[in-house]
Homo-oligomer: A and B are copies of this chain.
Amino acid sequence: MPKNSAGNFFEDFSLGQVIKHATPRTVTSGDVALATGLYGSRFAVQSSDAFAAAIGYRAAPIDDLLLFNIVFGKTVADISLNAVANLGYAGCRFLRPIYPGDTLNAASEIIGLKENSNRKTGIVYVRSLGLQQDGGTVLDYMRWVMVRKRDETARSQAEHVPALPAALDASTLGHGCPAIDVGAYDFALAGSPARFADYEIGEKIDHVDGTTVEEAEHQIATRLYQNNARVHFNLFSEKQSRFGRRLIYGGHVISIARALSFNGLANAFHVAAINGGRHVAPLFAGDTVFAWSEVLAKAELPSRSDVGALRLRTIATKDRPCADFPHKIGAEYDPAVILELDYWVLLPR
């Protein structure tokens, strides 16, 4: 029986295959503290038990992207250890608040496979679930990733490109957010008076601040997620790669952008869903990340008068402040852009 694993290659996956991932994880206030040290996020709900309890949470829930990154991390050893690139996300919904003490598991289904014409790689489409200790689903998302073949002559077992939702309908949002007592929501403590009604479709917000990433930081973050993809840790092997250095995990970039977005979106306390995301360019240690957001849409939630949803596009850049909202130059991304994220957040009404 082989004991170790170099990860799955494209031809190892089969359509409909279900994978139960290692390693279960009890999330703790220690994880929360380390995430605070790594991102400096300042959203009041996730920072203060007292604030969260006053508005209707049991206690301060863990940051939604910490949840995402922990669940994602579990999928890496089985899905993307031999990935060339993580191509995108779709249909990602946060379905329950998670608190320190909760235990997370993950499982995935292979929902699509498509070999590339070069016969060296293929696209694996996967739907992954984050599961709580009681089996309930806390996170549900799809991603697609380009994976190397072990053997160029191997034939894919099936070819199927699944339909992926362009965006989640607002009617599907809100399961991850309890009923909020907006009267108890202290806007001064939260850092801004701006509520749902104060944002307009088309409004663009520069998040102003920039933060430089160090090798130790992204490595500590990515290990915190128990994500063992060697591109993030192994300088010896990555020196031989196309980049010649360690690549920063995409989820680290997303978490940085979310933390930066506090300056302009202080009351957007919950990421309810990610419609789609694209890592436009790689980020490396020493680069400084900036971000800006545009309000793409606004929506009320069915039967809820407490919170409303903003659909945002957040663009993160490297070594490029965002006062002039860099995005695309013609059909091409501005060369400074590293992330485009399309997602729904909830704000008090």
Contacts and interface: CB of A to CB of B under 8 A. Distances in A.
Interface of A: 1, 3-6, 20, 22-26, 28-34, 36-44, 47-51, 60, 77, 100-101, 103, 105, 133, 188-194, 198-199, 203, 205-212, 214-217, 219-224, 226-228, 230, 233-237, 246, 263-266, 286, 288, 290, 319, 321
Given A6-B208, A30-B34, A38-B223, 13 more contacts: A3-B198, A22-B44, A23-B43, A26-B50, A30-B32, A33-B224, A37-B220, A37-B221, A42-B226, A49-B101, A50-B133, A235-B286, A236-B290
A25 B20 CA distance: 36
Contacts of A49: 26, 101, 103
A258 to B, nearest CB: 13
B37 A32 contact: no
Contacts of A265: 3
Given A219-B214, A219-B217, A193 B31 contact: no
Contacts of A100: 29
A22 B215 contact: no
Nearest to A19: B188
Nearest to A208: B4
Nearest to A23: B42
Contact of A212 (B40, B188, B246): B246
A214 B235 CA distance: 11
A182 B239 CA distance: 43
Contacts of A199: 3
19 contacts: A1-B198, A3-B198, A4-B208, A22-B44, A23-B44, A23-B47, A29-B100, A30-B33, A33-B224, A37-B220, A37-B223, A40-B233, A42-B228, A48-B103, A49-B103, A209-B233, A212-B219, A216-B216, A236-B290
A33 B24 CA distance: 14
Nearest to A222: B40
A177 to B, nearest CB: 19
Nearest to A28: B29
Given A32-B30, A37-B34, A217-B216, A23 B191 contact: yes
A269 B265 CA distance: 41
A209 to B, nearest CB: 6
Given A22-B44, A28-B29, A29-B28, A191 B77 contact: yes
A4 B103 contact: no
Nearest to A233: B211
B212 A234 contact: yes
Contacts of A209: 228, 230, 233-234
